[in-house]
Amino acid sequence: MKTLIKNVHVLTMDDEETEYKHGFVLIDGEDIVEVGAMRADLPVVDEVIDGQDGILLPGFVNTHTHCGMIPFRSLGDDVPDRLRRFLFPLEAYMTRKLVHASTAYAIGEMLLSGVTSFCDMYYFEDEVARACEEMGVRAVVGETIIDMETCDSKNTQESLSYCEAFLKKWKNHPLLTPAIAPHAPNTNNASDLKKIVALSQKYQAPITMHVEEMDYEMQEFAENYQQTPLAFLESLGYFEHRFIMAHCIHLNEADIKLLTQAPKHVSVAHCIGANTKSAKGVAPVKELLEQGVLVGLGTDGPSSGNTLDLFTQMRMVANFHKTKNHDRRAFPAKEIVKLATKNGAKALGFSRVGTIEPNKKADLVLVETKSVNMFPIFDAYSALVYSANASNVSAVWVNGRQLVKEKQLVHANLDELREKLYKEMDIFVKEAKKRTV
């Protein structure tokens, strides 16, 4: 099927930063086959979509989240010991059905905000993968490994066995990349961390992990290893394969130097919303980018950052980093949009998405410009970062298939997804209420 999207301001995000202020994109099946300025002799196609002067750009890429954690949203947000008071204990009540329902709802929320691909880390990750397949999205899906009993495994060995079966089952899927997700350097022992590297090598699977997020994590490694967590992981071979590190708030100069020497498949998922909400700090992203380190944007889970859209993250990146560096010129809007699209795709290893070019996959988002907050537009990138929000997303395509049309999910009903999730949350809600008393 051939689809023509016309009358749009195309931000290709290619290496030349090409824009077509009055342009079109031609899709044939899954692929983009042509992009350019509007002309009289546009090809005859099966479907024509008039973008009505909206902004068409590559789909947003959320490089770190936990789709299964929708039930935790707004729970204990201002409690200092939230991780151990709410999150870890209540995860014991997560079930397969609850994780699946939560993931489907989370994907619906992301699609409606223009997120076409993401990197997930949670439990029962085969249910996460199944929901992704049903919803038609592109994702890296990582099974969590942690040195404690969890809702899907009694111990680490059981987690590793579960993970290996998961990697076997989902390997070579056209849209999904199965991954290994050790929780953090300080929540897994050295022996298990080495096993994870071996498993990654065996199945050529990416690894994603929380790294240098916690102050006590830093203290523990300084006392026990006289190293930073990042240096410790590098010594175990974590830089030899695709490695997506979430947070990296506490990187020091030696860490940054180590990352500048790392292969390009080592990347950082910057979660500014969750990091600042939890008062953990602001990662040294300016220094990382200046040294050529690959950085993408992440929302973290709906319990940590509360929202799963990247419009919020883009604006917060601008505001926090300009303030931190006392420089209004820092982090121009065009560079922030790049972090949310092209860089995120590279970080997740998706070589055929992240830009709008011929022979790339058609992962696209159309942002309408008719709403009150979108007038006037002198600079499309600035409009996306400083003016737009998730409600301005009018259409979304993943792999050439339209998943959002006129601001509604095409192949799913959000009310039904919410109702299914609510039904599965019964016991979880009862236990959560006990802890809020």
Residues 181-208, mean pLDDT to the nearest whole number:
97
What's the chain's Rg over C-alpha atoms?
A: 21
Q: Which residues pair with 267 in a beta bridge?
A: 244, 294
Q: What is the mean pLDDT of the chain?
A: 96
Extract the tokens encoding 319: 């505001």
pLDDT at position 83 over 90: no
Q: Are 143 and 159 in contact (CB under 8 A)?
A: yes
Could you report the per-residue pLDDT of 349-394, keeping only the tens digit for each? 999 999 999 999 999 999 999 999 999 999 999 999 999 999 999 9
pLDDT at position 79 over 90: no
Whole-number pLDDT of residue 325: 93
Angle between helices 426-436 and 414-424 (to 10 degrees): 70
Q: How far is 208 from 383, CA to CA, in rounded Å?
A: 32
pLDDT at position 436 over 80: no
- Buried-state track 247-260, b at ≥16 Cβ within 10 A, e below 16: bbbbbeeebbebbe
* Cα 244 off chain centre by: 11
Q: Are 403 and 109 in contact (CB under 8 A)?
A: no
At 97 the three-state DSSP class reads: helix
17 pLDDT tier (thresholds 50, 70, 90): very high
* Cα 434 off chain centre by: 32
The pTM of this model reads 0.97
From 197, 127, 120, select the one nearest 162 (Cα to Cα).
127
Could you report the per-residue pLDDT of 153-178, keeping only the tens digit for each? 999 999 999 999 999 999 999 999 99
Measured from the Cβ of residue 434, the count of other Cβ atoms closer than 10 Å reads 9
Whole-number pLDDT of residue 81: 76
Whole-number pLDDT of residue 437: 59
Could you report the per-residue pLDDT of 241-256, keeping only the tens digit for each? 999 999 999 999 999 9
pLDDT at position 30 over 90: yes
Burial of 59 (0-12, 13-18, 19+ CB in 10 A): buried
- Can you list the alpha helix ranges (DSSP code H) found in 228-298? 229-235, 253-260, 272-277, 285-290
Residues 39-61, mean pLDDT to the nearest whole number:
96
* Residues in the chain, total: 437
pLDDT at position 141 over 90: yes
pLDDT at position 75 over 80: yes
pLDDT at position 222 over 80: yes
435 pLDDT tier (thresholds 50, 70, 90): confident
Domains of the chain: 2-58+362-409 (2.30.40.10), 60-347 (3.20.20.140)
85 pLDDT tier (thresholds 50, 70, 90): confident
Amino acid identity, position 89: P
Whole-number pLDDT of residue 80: 80
Q: Report percent pLDDT > 70 for the chain.
A: 100
Which helix (H) or strand (E) covers residue 20, if one does? strand 19-28
Whole-number pLDDT of residue 430: 87
Beta strands 401-405 and 408-409 are: antiparallel
pLDDT at position 210 over 90: yes
Q: Are 124 and 151 in contact (CB under 8 A)?
A: yes
82 pLDDT tier (thresholds 50, 70, 90): confident
Sheet of strand 266-270, all strands in order from the earlier edge strand to the far edge: 60-65, 115-122, 138-145, 176-182, 207-211, 243-247, 266-270, 294-297
Extract the tokens encoding 118: 């993401």
From 424, 364, 403, 425, select the one nearest 60 (Cα to Cα).
364
Residues with Cβ within 8 Å of 295's Cβ and at least 6 positions away in sequence, in order, are 267, 268, 269, 270, 285, 288, 289, 339, 343, 347
Whole-number pLDDT of residue 368: 98
Ranges of beta strands (E only) in 185-320 are 207-211, 243-247, 266-270, 294-297
**Which of the two residues, 435 and 231, has the higher pLDDT score?**
231
Whole-number pLDDT of residue 86: 82
Q: Which residues pair with 57 in a beta bridge?
A: 365
Peptide bond into 182 cis (omega under 30): no
Which helix (H) or strand (E) covers residue 52, if one does? strand 47-58
